[in-house]
Structure 1
Amino acid sequence: MARHLAITYVRHFVTKENEAKQYIGWTNVPVIQPKNVSHELKAEIVMTSDLLRCRQTAHLLFPNHVIECSYRWRELNFGDFEGKTYEQLQTVKAYRRWLDDPFRYAPPNGETFAQFEARIEQAVSDAIHRSVSHVVVVTHGGVIRYILSKYAPDIRPFWEWHVPFGEGVTLYNTKERWKERMRCISLAAVHFKGSENG
């Protein structure tokens, strides 16, 4: 008999650095806290990136839950590009090369896409081996894009997926299909009332 496992991926609330369009992969910054956040999402386990913006979002959304933190749910490490904007980097040769082929080149002193992918897959493995039917993961935009490009029923490239800050998506699958890394059966968008904060 198939055992079902839904995983909801929520993008953290917006930060000042996000609004300034800075690269903040592993930079540890706080969120701009939204007012009156409410939702009806029931989670058996809440996991999150260990970075502050995700931990804060998880505690705002699930104040009565134990939150499991892991560096594996972090955004890509942008290395020397951290804290900078496109305008500041556009004439840098290494940045242009990375923009042209981010799946092949890494930011200087940053993470390759292959390292990023392997780290996320380890995190997914941890989630799918739990004896529950619903896991919520509070993470980053790049992580969610990767998950959707790999596991959504609708096949679309990495850059064509977008989840706004403070929103998410639930992927429905069986544990067996998750373990075999098969695409999900269905997905649904998740919205939080009062989460609009820029």
Structure 2
Amino acid sequence: MLQIIAKDIRQQRLHRQRRGGELQKLHQTLSSLQLKSRHHCEQVDYYRHYITSCLDHLTTDSKSTNKKAAEKKKKLPALSYSAARLQEKGVLLEIQDLPPTQFRNVVFDIVPGPERGSFTVKARFLGVEMEEFLLQYQDLLQLQYEGVAVMKMFDKAKINVNLLIFLLNKKFFKK
């Protein structure tokens, strides 16, 4: 027993050195992880700034000398489409619990939202406003990237994501 204790006392210095080395490696790993974390945060900030600048670039008018074109764009703040028209374009696939013969009585108003890249979609049935839906352009692009072809709006209407993006690009964003 005494020999084991003596051996343990003699090897205490080696154990301390090993623990010190392991502790030093852990500190190096921690500092490199913090550095990498900072780098990733900077990258996220950079990409957020890039996305907002792209959306700003899409939505702002270029400095054109044609005043009529600028006035026309200012006069066109909202779009109104009947459900039948959207179905003809392929944007609207179906509305739950509503026969296609009633689609002419449903009107969708698409208005630019409070933030750049957002839209407010209002649904009216026979002139009575029914529901409102906040649509983020970035969310549509994410759905398109993920390969989602159909999304639900108002929990009742099925919308073709690609054709809705095409419609928004055509009507709201500069060419």
Larger radius of gyration: 2
Q: Which has the higher strand share?
A: 2
* TM beyond 0.5: no
Higher helix share: 2
TM normalised by structure 2 equals 0.25
More contact order relative to length (CA 8 Å, sep ≥ 6):
1
